[in-house]
Structure 1
Amino acid sequence: MGDEVEVKQLLNFIREQVPDWDDEVKATARYKAFSGQRSDWESLFVFWRDLIITIVRRFNILLLSPSLMKNSWFNRGGLTPLCLDHVLLEMYNNGDLLRLSDFEDPTTGRLSRLMKIIHFPIAFKSPTSSDILNDRLILLTMLEDRATYVVKALSETNWTSSCIITMKHFESLFKEHDEAFAVLSYLSRHGKALYLSIKSKEPIMGVKVSLSSASVSSFPSIDSVILQLMWTLEELQQQISVIDKQYKRFRISALVALRSGDKTLALRNARQLKLASESRDKLTAYSDRVEETVRVISDAQSAKKVYEAIQLGAQVIKENKMEVEEVQLCLQELDEFMVSQETIYNALESKSYAAVEDEDIEEELKKLELQIRNENILVNAPITMEDTKENVRASATPDDLCAAIADLKLESEIEDHSIQGSHSGSGSRKDCATLEAA
């Protein structure tokens, strides 16, 4: 929110929310420092608190900078609110705001956090207004909303009750590192996320997030394997993206070479196109195998949970001294209920078909007959020379390009000089057409 355009939009929004914002008399009263009893400045505190919350929610701001708020948001020609530090401190004491420095580091263990409290107790004293102004602040409701959004976004791409992603993937869901840190700390504190790491030549960091109402579970050996696979999958996808860019660059270079008549360079780029295509196919095959492995592991975990649920059910039956016959009777009643429901559904379905008028059926048949007739006309239509050229272009490959250039070079050596000049331009155009289809 430090951008000049965004600040201008924010100021316009403030004027919409506070119509008398530019009134000098009221502005002077609003910008003065708090004094006296709480009842004397309570209404002014509520005004600034509600205004800050409204702005934060409207512009979807997670991290707040007190200095930016004071010197940019609420700066009126050099006049800044003297009460802002008191307002922010009150919001912090009331639990509306949190300091970024108060968040526990989710990458460290509980023991290290406990040792930090023992060795540095002074760091956990109540903050002053100066401490608030020199820190970054987070509105609690915005933090809760952002955590909910992250879980929802991950749920849309994962069907399991939890998922494991790399730290790079997790941070890509946020604007900056501190936002990801705050949300991960919040989720970890509430048992909804777990930080993972693998020590190797290149340390791999990741996050396991619960996508259900249950707390996240920990299976160190399996979690590490999945994290390693997810990291490998991201690396493969990144390499595929690089090859795609190289393929486009080689293709453009080959087109330029053909149009300039440099057949040697065009042939070299055509070979690079073929190598890039083969490399991409191999990486895609590896990527598919990794995805399949992750899926198999996830299925195995789900099967284990089903098995545990069956064991739990058997234990409950035993503890409650339930007879097997009672359980079978309940299952039989459930089957009868399902059969009756299916009978009702079939009856309703057959009744809906009987309610269709004959005229409606005839109208649908006419539409279908007309559609089939139109498709037959298109199929039986004669193929023109332009259609043939388009088909040739669509089916061309880098191998076809190499063959076309080789044939062109052979023809240019046989024909005489004058004919060679007229045919070389035509050959280049054919090569270009073949390459454009690559």
Structure 2
Amino acid sequence: MASNDGEGGEGWEAAVRAEMGGASWWDDPDGADLHARFKAFTGQRRDWPEPKLLFWKDLLLRVARRLRLCSAPAHLVTSVWFARPGGITPLCLPQVLEEMRADGEILLKSELIVPTAGGLYQLVRRVSQMAISRRPIVQEDILVFRSLVEERFEDIASQLRGSHWTSTCVITLTKFNSFFYGQEDAHAALCYLTQRGKARYLAIRKEDPVELQGVKFPLVSAHAPAVSKFDCDTLHLVWQEEKLQQQFDVLDRRWEMLVYLLICHLQFACNSYVLW
């Protein structure tokens, strides 16, 4: 999950500065260039300067990509990421976000269907989305960057192909989350991927209250087939394998600590013998 200060893989300020490429106007809050880029769009959409619109679209996605984020709170994007000394923020960003949303480049997480919810809830959500008119983006919204989720989807599939020979694979939800900066970012991506049919969420209850959660991922095609009983059995086996690996890791750490303490004890004994 992106932290409250807007950081992902690295600090947001460092990410923005890196993507700006040392542009001199960025560090001149009183300069005409900065004010021209930061001021709000006026007039009709056809009157907006296209280079300025494309600049902010591109910069926003590049910063999010550098932070390894597929989603971000709207208030961080508009009020934090690109803020300059003196509290100066790009007044055009809300309009840029709405434009990206209209083009399908940005989706709101609140409008995506949560795959972990029940079937009745999902049906109600689909019906309500068709009936309710679209509202403007508000500061509390979580923005989901479609192209960045698609990129992460391809990256995950590429990594999984190296260890699977089948056309699909089943991984635990914990494993899926590990491909993202945080759990909230992973959840936003999962909502998008399952709604687009690019992944399937599955859950099985083995021992109350333990519920095994996983994701079925396509490795060849762009869409994941429906979940089968075999997938559920596979999820259980994969979960057991990960649980055993965690236990082995704990034993390894304990063994390393034991060896370290033994070496320290021997060194102390040797030093004491020499002094004696």
Q: Same fold (TM over 0.5)?
A: yes
Out of 107, 116, 124, the position equivalent to 2:125 is 116
Q: AA paired with 2:234?
A: I
Residue 161 of structure 2 is matched in structure 1 by: 155
Out of 200, 212, 216, the position equivalent to 2:220 is 212
> How has the CA–CA distance of structure 1 residues 112 and 84 changed in structure 2, closer, same or farther, with 3 Å as cutoff?
same
Residue 183 of structure 1 is matched in structure 2 by: 189
Residue 31 of structure 2 is matched in structure 1 by: 24
> How has the CA–CA distance of structure 1 residues 54 and 171 changed in structure 2, closer, same or farther, with 3 Å as cutoff?
closer
Corresponding position: 1:2 with 2:9: no
In the alignment, structure 1 segments of 5+ residues that lack a partner are 263-423, 427-438
Identity of aligned residues (%): 33
How far apart are the structure 2 equivalents of 1:211 and 1:160? Answer: 8
State the 1:214 CA deviation: 6.7
Out of 190, 198, 205, the position equivalent to 1:192 is 198
Preserved CA contact (<8 Å) 1:166 1:227: yes
Preserved CA contact (<8 Å) 2:71 2:142: yes
How far apart are the structure 2 equivalents of 1:66 and 1:216? Answer: 30
State the 1:103 CA deviation: 1.9
How far apart are the structure 1 equivalents of 2:262 and 2:182? Answer: 40
Matches within 5 A, 1:7-406: 7-13=12-18, 15-16=20-21, 18-21=23-26, 22=28, 24-43=31-50, 44-77=52-85, 78-118=87-127, 124-129=132-137, 131=138, 133-199=139-205, 200-201=207-208, 202-213=210-221, 215-218=223-226, 220-260=228-268
**Secondary structure of 2:48's partner?**
helix
Per-residue CA shift, 1:367-407, capped at 9, x if unaligned? xxxxxxxxxxxxxxxxxxxxxxxxxxxxxxxxxxxxxxxxx
State the 1:113 CA deviation: 0.9
Per-residue CA shift, 1:83-141, capped at 9, x if unaligned? 221221121112121112222112235443112345x5699431214x2x321212221
Higher helix proportion: 1
Q: TM-score, normalised by structure 2?
A: 0.81
Preserved CA contact (<8 Å) 1:164 1:227: yes
State the 1:261 CA deviation: 5.1
Q: AA paired with 1:147?
A: F
> How has the CA–CA distance of structure 1 residues 105 and 29 changed in structure 2, closer, same or farther, with 3 Å as cutoff?
same
Preserved CA contact (<8 Å) 1:164 1:223: yes
State the 1:14 CA deviation: 5.2
Q: Which has the higher contact order (CA 8 A, sep 6+)?
A: 2
In the alignment, structure 2 segments of 5+ residues that lack a partner are none
Per-residue CA shift, 1:51-106, capped at 9, x if unaligned? 32343345543223332233333222222222221221121112121112222112
How far apart are the structure 2 equivalents of 1:73 and 1:160? Answer: 42
Q: When the two structures are aligned, how many residues end up with a matched partner? A: 262
How far apart are the structure 1 equivalents of 2:63 and 2:150? Answer: 17
